[in-house]
Amino acid sequence: MRLVSWNVNGIRAVTNKGLFAPFVEELQPDVICLQETKAHQSQIEVELSGFEEHWNSAEKKGYSGTAIFSKVAPLNVTAGFTGFDEGVIEMADAFGDPHSEGRVMTAEFEDFFLVTVYTPNAKGDLGRLTLRHSQWDPTFLRHLKQLERTKPVIFCGDLNVAHTPDDLANPKSNVGKAGYTSEERAGFQSFVDAGFVDTFRLFHEGNGHYTWWSNFSKARERNVGWRIDYFLVSEGLVDRVETAEIHANIMGSDHCPVSLTLKS
């Protein structure tokens, strides 16, 4: 089973460029998780034969959003954080309410949950770092661990953080900047400490493996990038992980897709 995750930075833009269908044809995914769709389902017709479509769009048009397209019919699909005893956990700042931004979807399959996430960006001035560190990351981890009580969890998406110095081309000059603050990195480490495994690192060591590049200074051409898109799995699923890959050759967004292939 091949799972693919891609921050498309606008599904309409990728489709209008004629790049979405070739992406599907090349990677042959069974499940596609998208982030930053920037569209409501009614605004675009995605022609994918044999796939169920599930959308969680932001209330604000042209912003954020996630989607899951699946050949294998999920048992259940939910949007946002669900199942907490206290109900919806309040989470807002000057930029808005992340609950209204379509950032999380969970699909339940027979033997695992699949979660796709578009983590809030800390912003260039770090104006959203407090929300990210003190509210979002802990709440998202609670969501994952609550799901894990029932069955193993796979989560993927744009986590908007480079975890280690090997995950960005210029770590020294980016210390303390958005995507590489100690708070954001600690948030990622909390997933690892809770037992989730960064699947790409099961197969690949060192730097040079990136999933996002700035649109300036020919960064992608020079491979001056960041690895901020991931697949992590519960420890109980590690033995089923066959491959985890970055598909830097696939164009259409400032991010490239990442994939996870599971043994049956």
Q: Is 158 a catalytic residue?
A: yes
Q: Is 118 a catalytic residue?
A: yes
Do you know the residue count of the chain?
A: 264
Candidates 63, 85, 97, 158; catalytic one: 158
DSSP per position, the chain: -EEEEEE-S-HHHHHHTT-HHHHHHHH--SEEEEE---S-GGG-----TT-EEEEE--SSTTS--EEEEESSPPSEEEESS---TT-SPP--BTTB-GGGTT-EEEEE-SS-EEEEEEPPP--TT-TTHHHIIIIIHHHHHHHHHHHHTTS-EEEEEE-----SGGGBS-HHHHTTSTTS-HHHHHHHHHHHHTTEEEGGGGT--SS---SEE-SSTTTTTTT-EE--EEEEEEGGGGGGEEEEEE-TT--SSSB--EEEEE--
Candidates 30, 111, 118, 137; catalytic one: 118
> Which positions are annotated as active-site residues?
118, 158
